[in-house]
Structure 1
Amino acid sequence: MSAGLLASVLFVVMLVLLAGGVWIAIALGLVGWVAIEFFTAAPAGSLLASTVWDSSWNWALTALPLFIWMGEILFRTRLSQDMFTGLSAWLGWLPGRLVHVNIIGCGIMAAVAGSSAVTCATVGRISLPELKKRGYDESLIIGTLAGSGTLGLLIPPSIMLIVYGVVSQQSISRLFMAGVLPGLLLIALFMGYVMLRAVLDPDKTPVETETLSLKEKLSRSRFLIPVLLLIVAILGSIYGGYATPTEAATVGVIGALILAAFSGSLDRHTLLETLLGATRTSCMITLILVAAAFLTMAMGFTGIPRHLAQWVETLELSPYALIAVLMVFYIILGCFLDGVSMLVLTATVVLPMVKDAGIDLIWFGIFAVIVVEMAQITPPVGFNLFVLQGMSGRDIVQVARASMPFFFLMILGIVIITIFPGIVTFLPQTMMR
């Protein structure tokens, strides 16, 4: 059977399993088993056992449950309320005023949570009712929360970058560094859009009656100190070469526990909830990664990635054309799959093509994560849309419509880092010499 026909058969099998409601991890594993058992002479059982063992003890994976646990702890603290108090004192003079609290608050939360859903929910549960009470446009509030909440996937310590580092065998520390400037770029684009919209339609932004003196602003800024110290402890230890991502994650968990204790929100019940939540999420992601590793091995035995890469080479696509095709492909895929599944499901085929095209895998990791961010706000499987639907009480169509401008701003962000790749590669090349 030709590689193209075999790939089509396996793709149909995958679609049937997913359409039948089979878990992503089980579907990946079954497709890998079918590929080996029926289309190669290799022993499927032995390969499954060895792959599960080899992929499950990867040291880089130990950072994953720790960062997830840290996010669960912070979600249950007063951190978001304190951030709103500290940031709102300084942002009232910008066009768009306190809507910028959503964007910068999500950026700060992303630097300690590592998760899109946690970032969106933690900031949104305080800012959404507060901004609505003050008379801000609801669609702009929801849109900024949906778009900025995705920064949890990009700004380190990002769980998605850890997943990509594992499947692509790239340095997680370098990926963390590569995510900083693109994250700041997206924050700037989001804030620029809010300011432009406020200037063009000033009626959507209410007049703030509260005026604070410099002393009062500085006093309120003290609420930002705990989260800033946690960011410095986590990222500073990694970038300074004092700790690996796993060791930095341990520091983050300890810091989050201290913050929760001082905020009075840490008790036995809450601690148990954070542990159970982190365990469920970590097991889900790990199971997907293990199943994807088996599928990757199966694809290697069938030769599909090699043949597809050769086929793409015959098309003589330029790196820019390949990036454009992959962006459309991931956007469509993101309508049906979550981010982790997108990355691990496509890594087997996409990464060899990208490497053969001469595209830096660190740069491509940031590109892929931004596209995965876009999937977080595209129906029908946009997790941030579901979070905000539950918090705002609006239907999914209204939430998706409010999020669309930020979807296009992310496309603009991809165009910018494609034209100026140094935005991604500068920090890893400079700080890892």
Structure 2
Amino acid sequence: MDPLTMGLIFLAILVLVLATGVWVGVALLIVGTLAMSLFTSRPIGPAMATTVWSHISLWGLASLPLFIWMGEILFRTRLSRSLFDGLSPLLRNWPGGLLHVNVAGCTAFSAISGSSAATLLTVGKITMPELKKRGYPDAMVAGTLAGAGTLGLLIPPSITMIIYGIMVQESIARLFMAGLIPGLMLAGLFLLYNVGWGVLTPAGRAMRENPSDWREKLHALPKLLPVVGLIVAVVGSIYTGIAAPTEAAVLGVAGALLLSALQGSLNMQSLRESLMGTVRTTAMITLLLAGSAFITLAMGFTGLPRDLAEWVVDMELSRTALILSLMMLYMLLGCFLDGISMIVLTIAVVEPLVRAAGIDMIWFGIFIVLVGEMALITPPIGFNLFLVQNMTGRSLGFVSRAAAPLFFIMFASVIILIAVPEIALWLPETLTARD
């Protein structure tokens, strides 16, 4: 059986299993069990136990629940409200007004959360009522929030990057470094989109906030200092080599607990809720990793990754053609899966192809995370679209249309990243060379 046919058969089985409503991690275990039973006589139980345990007990994963917990603490305390109050006077004078707070707030919260859902929900709960009260169009509010909420995947520390780094055995610290400039570039393009709306459309020109003076801006700065200080401490400790990602995550949790305690918003209820939220999210991701580890082992027994790699090599695709083909694949998968699930489902097959083509795996990590961001607002079932729909009460079609311009901005960012790979590679190469 040729590798393409075999791959399509396993993909069809996986789609059928997922269509029954089974969790993605369980679906991967089911397909892996089927592949093991067909292509090897090795006992499935011991193979599954050994493989799953060896992958979910890696030291690098220790930072995962810690970064999730840090975001949960901030999500459930008043620190996130202080972030909005501090950004508003600094940004409302710009064309586009307080829409910029959606983007800037998501950018800042992404740097301390690592979760797209936590970023969107936290910022959205604060900004949406205020923006609606001030008369901003629902489409602009929903679209900018859906798009900017995806930055939690790209701006470090990123849960998705941790998972990718563990799966392909690349440095998580270097991935964090590589994601910073692309993340800020994307945030800048979102801000530019808001400015364009404020300058070029009648509704945008009519929407002008009362200008803030320098006294109000100076008064707002202390409200930003706790969050900005935590960002600098966590991300800066990684970039300077003072701390590994796991150590930086411990620092982030300690800082979040201290700041929320000093603010008076930390109590037993918020602490308990943050811990339960961390357990739920970590358990979901661990199940995904377990299923991925086992299906990777099973696919190895089938020879599918090796055969596919040889098949692609025989096609003599250029690097650019391979990358564009993978981009189309992930955009298609993004219609049905979130970014983490896409990586977990495909990396066992894609990694050999990428390495055989000589593509830098750090750069490819940023590429795949950026395309995963697009998946979050890809109609018809982008995850962020559902979150914004629930928050606004508008139809999914309305939210999809509102987020469409942000989707095309992301698409342009992917093209820029392909054309200028140094955007992702310059910072890690520079800092590593310095060390």
Q: TM-score when scaled to structure 1?
A: 0.97
How many angstroms does 1:221 deviate by?
1.4
Q: Distance in 2 between matches of 1:48 and 1:92?
A: 55
Q: Which residue is equivalent to 2:291?
A: 291
How many angstroms does 1:387 deviate by?
1.5
Which range is displaced more, 33-42 or 2-11? 2-11
Relative distance call for 1:74 and 1:206 in structure 2 (3 A) is farther
State how 1:135-154 maps to structure 2 within 5 Å: 135-154=135-154
Q: Which residue is equivalent to 2:347?
A: 347
What secondary structure does 1:233 align onto?
helix
What secondary structure does 1:296 align onto?
helix
How many angstroms does 1:262 deviate by?
2.7
Q: Which runs of 4+ in 1 moved over 4 A?
A: none
Q: Which residue is equivalent to 1:372?
A: 372
Relative distance call for 1:36 and 1:207 in structure 2 (3 A) is closer
Which range is displaced more, 413-422 or 10-19? 10-19
How many angstroms does 1:406 deviate by?
0.5
Q: Distance in 2 between matches of 1:371 and 1:123?
A: 22
Is residue 114 of structure 1 aligned with residue 114 of structure 2? yes
Relative distance call for 1:294 and 1:92 in structure 2 (3 A) is same
State how 1:28-67 maps to structure 2 within 5 Å: 28-67=28-67
How many angstroms does 1:259 deviate by?
2.3
Is residue 201 of structure 1 aligned with residue 182 of structure 2? no
Amino acid at match of 1:174: R
State how 1:14-413 maps to structure 2 within 5 Å: 14-208=14-208, 210-413=210-413
How many angstroms does 1:93 deviate by?
2.6
How many angstroms does 1:364 deviate by?
0.5
Q: Distance in 1 between matches of 2:348 and 2:303?
A: 11
Is residue 425 of structure 1 aligned with residue 422 of structure 2? no
Q: Distance in 2 between matches of 1:429 and 1:78?
A: 38
How many angstroms does 1:45 deviate by?
2.2
1:82-139 superposed Cα distances (whole Å, 9 cap, x missing partner): 1222111121232112111111111001000101011111111111111111121221
Structure 2 contact 380–400 (Cα < 8 Å) conserved: no
Relative distance call for 1:272 and 1:85 in structure 2 (3 A) is same
Structure 1 contact 136–205 (Cα < 8 Å) conserved: no
Alignment length, in residue pairs?
433
Q: Which runs of 5+ in 2 are unaligned?
A: none
Structure 2 contact 154–369 (Cα < 8 Å) conserved: yes
Structure 2 contact 95–208 (Cα < 8 Å) conserved: no
Which range is displaced more, 176-185 or 286-295? 286-295
Percent identical pairs in the alignment equals: 53
Q: Distance in 2 between matches of 1:88 and 1:49?
A: 52
Which range is displaced more, 194-203 or 246-255? 194-203
What secondary structure does 2:96 align onto?
coil
Q: Which runs of 5+ in 1 are unaligned?
A: none
Q: Distance in 1 between matches of 2:170 and 2:140?
A: 37
Q: Distance in 2 between matches of 1:313 and 1:35?
A: 25
How many angstroms does 1:141 deviate by?
1.1
Relative distance call for 1:2 and 1:414 in structure 2 (3 A) is closer
Q: Distance in 2 between matches of 1:320 and 1:217?
A: 46
Structure 2 contact 199–205 (Cα < 8 Å) conserved: no
